[in-house]
Structure 1
Amino acid sequence: MPKFGPRLGPMLGPKDVAFWDSIIELEEKIIALINLFTVTGARRCHVTELEDVEDFYRYIYNTPLTCDRAVLVGGQRKTHPPHLEGAKWVCMNNKINFVFGNCLVYSFGIDRDFTFDDEMDNKFLCEVHSFDPTIGLKNHQRSPRLTFHNLGLSNVSDPHARKLKVERYVNILKQLGHLNSTIDYLKVDIEGYEINFLSDVFSTNPNLLKNVKQIGMEVHPRRGEMTPNQVALWRHFQQLECFGFRLWTSEANPIKRTTFMVNGRRRSCCYELAFESQAHRPKLR
């Protein structure tokens, strides 16, 4: 037991201060060491902090996987510059085992563009659940296979809010009876709130992702260098990798006014990313 220095009235003496400073410093080191690892389900994931913004962009532009049957689904034609806005890449090769007529799609973020959802319904005969609390539509059955929910995805539960109703991913799965169902495609296009969604899932229910085959997600790193969004997304990219997801395609928003310079390179406000779960690949015999 350390000997404490003499007290100066109600104040700590110099030796007391030095002792408690050393305890606090040791505690901070232990916390920092623990934070290098996050438990993802039964996995222990090594997660490093973002130290160089170029590492963030190298990850986005370096896609280790390829898909020999990549299909661009949905989107609205734009002319300045020519591109499809709102389209999502879906891998439909034999490895991913995407079965027409027996597929389940969750689509978060519509903004009145149902082209992706309608195509997954009409062309591929999937059961589709579309979510968006910002476009003034009530819950309705858009088609026999496509259901619209006036509900947003977040890290909090507020399904009875007067304006924007939001719910956590785990509760949405429970309410729709899909807690143990395979999600063939999870689309997340929610204008920055993808961070709230990922933070909630990885901190509370990471095993929910074990049933997801593919994730198509627009990420918003924000303008600048080492922004809070870049730091948070860097952490979540590593957690996705730890949980078996690999990035197979990425595209920057092509509209020039949404771009900016970082370290002499032109970067974008938003990137369309597509991840494939390696857990759902059939094992080779």
Structure 2
Amino acid sequence: MSAGRKFKRCVTIVGVFILASLLFIVDRGIPNPQEKRCSFPVLTSTAQYKQYISSKQTTCENWAQLGGWLAAPKDGRKLMCLDERFDIQAGKCVVLSFGVNNEWSFEDDAEKLGCKVYAFDPTMGKEDHQRTPNIQFFKLGISDVEGEKKIGMNPVVTDFNFHKSFPVDRYENIVRRLGLEGRVIDYVKMDIELSELDVLRDLLDNSPHFLRNINQLSIEIPRRLSTRIELMSVWLRSARDFGPNSTVRKFWPLYHRLRCHGFSIMNYQASVLWREVVWGRDAAGIP
């Protein structure tokens, strides 16, 4: 074989190897260079945190309230942006709802909007079932592992058996199980008692390619810290809100990493015990 042929063959082999490596990286969801360039300011106070999450980074002209009506708890209310860029179409839109707690007002309203709703909650004592023609329920939680995990926070302040183990799975696996891989998920709601931390970290670290198919993301963040006894005193919780185990410090880098992946804060609402933030994907509606 001539030297020229050998050289061309080597170039071809190297090219194929580089291409295969790139495809492997994309398939595994390894953070891209844009994520590596992602930077954000050092968090120095709770005031800085509150200012950031309460500042809208993009606008919505047409909000729809889903849930929270009449006797439904106030935190059952979620907001969905119906602006044209999100292309919410009856009969085509898909909603994933993580955390139900036997309060169905959000899911019912999403169904009335014409969406197919997949609801998940392993803590309700209910088995998988088709609740209505367009609301399907799964006795499954979401986390950063597949199997069982101690999730959630016991709602009874005096009960010191804080966590119980429930069946959970990763977002990526759940989407594949539903047969929704590769299609747009119009709205993802998470009200999962601080398990949002595990889910966001898993998505950002291992499945950023699945983030690209989410158009709107709503997360309710309990203003709670690491132990149940802290819930006995609002004052104590507020006083330690900036400690090393606080939700403020844990969520801060994740918010900015979402921004680096093209998500902008559209809405923010808060109460004594929770904060809710709605993000919209900047590239929604763009092929």
Q: Tell me the TM-score range normalised by the shorter chain.
A: 0.7 to 0.9
Question: Are positions 1:275 and 2:275 aligned together?
Answer: no
Q: Distance in 1 between matches of 2:223 and 2:209?
A: 25
- The alpha-carbon distance between structure 1 residues 164 and 190, as it changes in their structure 2 partners (threshold 3 A), is same
> Aligned to 2:269, which of 237, 251, 256?
251
Output aligned runs, 1:1-285, within 5 Å: 40-44=31-35, 45-77=38-70, 84-121=74-111, 123-158=112-147, 164-222=166-224, 223=237, 224-227=240-243, 228=245, 229-253=247-271, 259=272, 269-282=273-286
Which of the pair has more CA radius of gyration? 1
**Amino acid of the residue matched to residue 262 of structure 2?**
G
Q: Distance in 2 between matches of 1:67 and 1:40?
A: 29
- The alpha-carbon distance between structure 1 residues 76 and 111, as it changes in their structure 2 partners (threshold 3 A), is farther
TM-score when scaled to structure 2? 0.73
Question: Which consecutive residues of structure 2, in runs of 5 or more, have no partner in the other structure?
Answer: 1-29, 151-163, 225-236
**Displacement after TM superposition at 1:97 (Å):** 1.5
- The alpha-carbon distance between structure 1 residues 159 and 178, as it changes in their structure 2 partners (threshold 3 A), is farther
RMSD: 2.2
Q: Is the 8 A contact 1:108 1:130 kept in 2?
A: yes
Structure 1, residues 30-53: CA drift from partner, whole Å, max 9, x if none? xxxxxxxxx744522224442322
- The alpha-carbon distance between structure 1 residues 163 and 140, as it changes in their structure 2 partners (threshold 3 A), is farther
Q: Is the 8 A contact 1:41 1:205 kept in 2?
A: no
TM-score when scaled to structure 1? 0.74
**Amino acid of the residue matched to residue 231 of structure 1?**
R
Q: Is the 8 A contact 1:49 1:235 kept in 2?
A: no
Structure 1, residues 82-114: CA drift from partner, whole Å, max 9, x if none? x73311000001122111221011000000011
Q: Is the 8 A contact 1:77 1:84 kept in 2?
A: no
Q: Distance in 2 between matches of 1:160 and 1:278?
A: 33
**Amino acid of the residue matched to residue 34 of structure 2?**
R
Paired residues, number: 227
Structure 1 runs of 4+ with >4 Å offset: 159-163
Structure 1, residues 95-141: CA drift from partner, whole Å, max 9, x if none? 221112210110000000111111111x1111110000000000000
Q: Distance in 1 between matches of 2:176 and 2:148?
A: 14
Q: Distance in 2 between matches of 1:41 and 1:150?
A: 34
Q: Distance in 2 between matches of 1:279 and 1:140?
A: 34
